[in-house]
Structure 1
Amino acid sequence: MTISIAAVGDLVLDEPDPAFFLAPSAAVITKADIAIGHIEVPHSHTTVQASTDVPAPAADPAALKDVAAAGFDVVTLAGNHIYDAGPEGLLDTIAFSRDAGLLTAGAGANLADARKPAVITKDGTTVGILSFNCVGPRDSWAASQKAGAAYVKVLTHYELDSATPGGPPTIYTFTAPDSLRSMQDDIRKLKAEVDLVVVALHKGIGHTPAVLADYEIPLSHAAVDAGADVVIGHHAHIMRGIEMYRGVPIFHGLGNFVTVTQALNADGESAERAEWAARRVKMFGFAPDPGMPTYPFHPESRNTAIAVCTFDGRRLVSAGFVPCWIDDDARPVPHGPTETGERVLAYITDISRSAGFSTTFTWDGEHVLVQAHPDQENHHV
């Protein structure tokens, strides 16, 4: 019997009435046998801020019930903001998620807990989900006696290519070998216990169209080599390309889904968030649309998708996605082969080509099928 697994990118539910923002996509999400989303910020009543980066305020725990009501079964938590409200905020997020009927992966009271998968069985097929944060900050990482997120350590090297001190460098990124092996060990162990493994990676360069950092493709391939059946990326708040590697779909970044907040506005209470808002244009080359005060993100990030993969036992039957456009109310709205759907598909095709992927995309009803190029399953230049 076949089962379908759906996945979306970041969920930031920091505005009243989350159900309103989730409503247009709920029919697609609930249709899937298993649906996975990424909770980006803590959900807690605490007012503590524990991050020295750009801290996200804790969102209303009641929003997690709306996530479950919209059809989600599993939420991944390994991300750069999950520890922003300290251990209390993190543990509250886990507790409130589970109270809402959601399984969690990627965060815990210690590293062992954070590395535990979410495991769910539907129609005789058991699926395990692992979640890893690849972007820091380091104080968000779990340790043997510290709450936090499961993680893969990524190193950055700056190479000065000219004789000008302070000149622009070439930036190289790569995973720390022991950390990569640890991730692969978790995947192999889980693969021996379940039929299918989904690996969620919080990775990439934020708010920057199309670009993949050096480490992202080798890291994703390493997950597949260890046994992952689907790899899902998020964090950049803008979509990334899609590839097929060894017959496994890799969604390098599903971008934003419902991400509604006013915390990143320049007039917020946090000095760090206000400073970030002031630097945003220089850093990323965009200013949020003033007509969408609850959506402080890159205009191209309104292109998004719901990944949908179908399996028969351990065999992939189809991989694909439903194109979505984030409307003027900041709600992701699914689109079939309409003018809007075609525009989103063209965007995803373009960023996939920019990444060097030869993946083909074909409409199949309301979905787009993702397939390897017929001449070469994995082509990357």
Structure 2
Amino acid sequence: MPSTFTVALTGQSLIHHDIRTCTDPGFLQIVETLKTADVAFTNFEGTILGRHGGSPMKGSYFGYSDPYVLDALKQAGFNALALANNHAFDLGPQGILSTLEEVRGRGFLHAGIGLDRDHAVSPGMAAFGDRVIALVAMDGGPGPRTMYAENAGYRRPSRPGVNRLEVTRIFEADQAAFDMLETIQTTFQSSKLERANYAQPDDSPTLDDEKEIDFYGTIFRRANTNRRVVAIDPDSASSQLAAIARASSDGQFVIAYLHHHHWEPNWRDVPEWVRAFAHACIDAGARAFVSHGTPVLQPIEIYKRAPIFFGLGNFIFHTEKGETEWSLPDVWKSVVATCEYDPAGSLQIDLLPVVLGGEDRIKDLDFHERYVPVAAYGKTGEQIIDDLAERSSVFGTRIERNGVIGRIQIS
């Protein structure tokens, strides 16, 4: 009979510095928590500059890491990494090759990038004790089509890249707004060929000519109200869900992972399309759903006895000196969620509050010096759990505080 099984899940790890020499007791306690778990998971938010080299594919939001950061994550206790995110292609296909090589060499369970689309969508699999864990990791963008893995086709070689969940952003506009947009577009009328030129490297979108216009790269749809709509391509969703279902049917414990930047105006809010997709992943057989991208902690839902972490925020978030866009205190607060699965069917989730850089620095402006998360046992830690409990209650989740630790109990 299977034994009790624990999975520790953290916020995303955007890591550029070597943290192996850190001796902060609050960080070392987190390390102990991760090392005690059977599976310790994070999203490696980056790409490796390794043997295959690479070139910058972005402007100011470009970044890469040296291979030793993977050693640092390993020493911190992690043994499972999602690799699908908006920084995974920052060095192009060569960065994908180097990242795969370095991650494999260290024995991480990993998923989310690949040599082509079929490879990228395939679950990563590894045995932990008496269980086989499958990880399906995907990125929902927004990002250029060229960052995503592609199979070979007629006169087209395969492309290493990221596993893509194809998501489209559409703005619905009322009659007045839509007429104004059409007027502007007519004033600066361009041919289909010119629109195609400016659409590169992507293809021009397919439109409903009666209701939609491509307004210089953004789709607007005639409607009765003004709002943003995010829609998942059904075929793309089906391929991801099929990968989850196949792994689940083989008896594997499946973790589904989604990275995206289609945030709500209030970063703390859960996009409805993400919730619907998370439910679909659980329905397909995933035992846990985890998401990152929004750099703040979002609510937790229990759906069909499986935890859904809509956003675990940041675990490691290395910034450059002078970056000020991350001054929101919530960016530096998160939890480590340890899920204990009992063979009898019960589930207990312990939530350890953490503050990147420590509680005493939460109001400082030294963002670039906050190298590691620290367990938060003071007032800030209590506030993190109480706030998360209040927001998660909207989804029917009950979080109780056991000291500073938050706890979810599913009998």
Does the residue aligned with 2:386 lie in a helix, a strand or coil?
Answer: helix
Show the 5 A alignment for 1:190-201.
190-201=247-258
Aligned match of 1:83: 89
> Match for 2:374: what amino acid?
V
Show the 5 A alignment for 1:1-381.
1-17=3-19, 19-20=21-22, 23=28, 25-45=30-50, 46=53, 48-51=55-58, 55-137=61-143, 138-144=145-151, 145-161=158-174, 163-164=176-177, 165=180, 169-206=226-263, 208-262=266-320, 265=322, 287-288=324-325, 296=326, 298-313=328-343, 315-326=345-356, 327=358, 328=361, 329-330=369-370, 331-335=372-376, 338-352=378-392, 356-364=394-402, 367-371=405-409
Residues in 1 aligned to 2:271 and 2:28: alpha-carbon distance in whole angstroms: 34
Contact residue 159 and residue 170 of structure 1 kept, 8 A: yes
Residues in 2 aligned to 1:216 and 1:192: alpha-carbon distance in whole angstroms: 24
What is the CA distance between 1:319 and its match in structure 2? Answer: 2.7
Does the residue aligned with 1:136 lie in a helix, a strand or coil?
Answer: coil
> Match for 2:234: what amino acid?
P
Contact residue 382 and residue 404 of structure 2 kept, 8 A: no
1:183-235 per-position Cα deviation (integer Å, ceiling 9, x unaligned): 11011001022331111111354594312223111110110110111000101
Residues in 2 aligned to 1:208 and 1:257: alpha-carbon distance in whole angstroms: 20
Unaligned runs of 5+ in 2: 152-157, 182-219, 362-368
Contact residue 54 and residue 93 of structure 2 kept, 8 A: no
Which one has a bigger Cα radius of gyration? 2
Moved more, 141-150 or 156-165: 156-165
Residues in 1 aligned to 2:139 and 2:396: alpha-carbon distance in whole angstroms: 27
What is the CA distance between 1:306 and its match in structure 2? Answer: 1.1
Counting aligned pairs with the same residue, the percent is 23
Task: Mark the CA change 1:352 to 1:204 in structure 2 (over 3 Å): closer, same or farther.
Answer: farther
Residues in 2 aligned to 1:59 and 1:122: alpha-carbon distance in whole angstroms: 28
1:53-84 per-position Cα deviation (integer Å, ceiling 9, x unaligned): x5422111111001011111111101111011
> Match for 2:17: what amino acid?
E
Does the residue aligned with 2:72 lie in a helix, a strand or coil?
Answer: helix
Does the residue aligned with 1:222 lie in a helix, a strand or coil?
Answer: helix
What is the CA distance between 1:316 and its match in structure 2? Answer: 4.5
Task: Mark the CA change 1:371 to 1:312 in structure 2 (over 3 Å): closer, same or farther.
Answer: closer
What is the CA distance between 1:16 and its match in structure 2? Answer: 4.5
> Match for 1:125: what amino acid?
R
1:106-148 per-position Cα deviation (integer Å, ceiling 9, x unaligned): 1111112212222222231222111011123132211111111
Does the residue aligned with 1:347 lie in a helix, a strand or coil?
Answer: helix
Contact residue 347 and residue 409 of structure 2 kept, 8 A: no
Residues in 1 aligned to 2:310 and 2:61: alpha-carbon distance in whole angstroms: 25
Residues in 1 aligned to 2:343 and 2:118: alpha-carbon distance in whole angstroms: 29
Task: Mark the CA change 1:183 to 1:215 in structure 2 (over 3 Å): closer, same or farther.
Answer: same
Contact residue 17 and residue 318 of structure 2 kept, 8 A: yes
Task: Mark the CA change 1:100 to 1:32 in structure 2 (over 3 Å): closer, same or farther.
Answer: same
Residues in 1 aligned to 2:278 and 2:408: alpha-carbon distance in whole angstroms: 17
Q: Would you say how many aligned residue pairs link Structure 1 and Structure 2? A: 341
Residues in 2 aligned to 1:139 and 1:18: alpha-carbon distance in whole angstroms: 35
1:24-68 per-position Cα deviation (integer Å, ceiling 9, x unaligned): 52111111111111011112144611246x542211111100101
Contact residue 260 and residue 293 of structure 2 kept, 8 A: yes
Task: Mark the CA change 1:82 to 1:31 in structure 2 (over 3 Å): closer, same or farther.
Answer: same
Unaligned runs of 5+ in 1: 267-286, 289-295, 375-381
TM-score normalised by L of structure 2: 0.76
Aligned match of 1:279: none
Task: Mark the CA change 1:256 to 1:298 in structure 2 (over 3 Å): closer, same or farther.
Answer: same
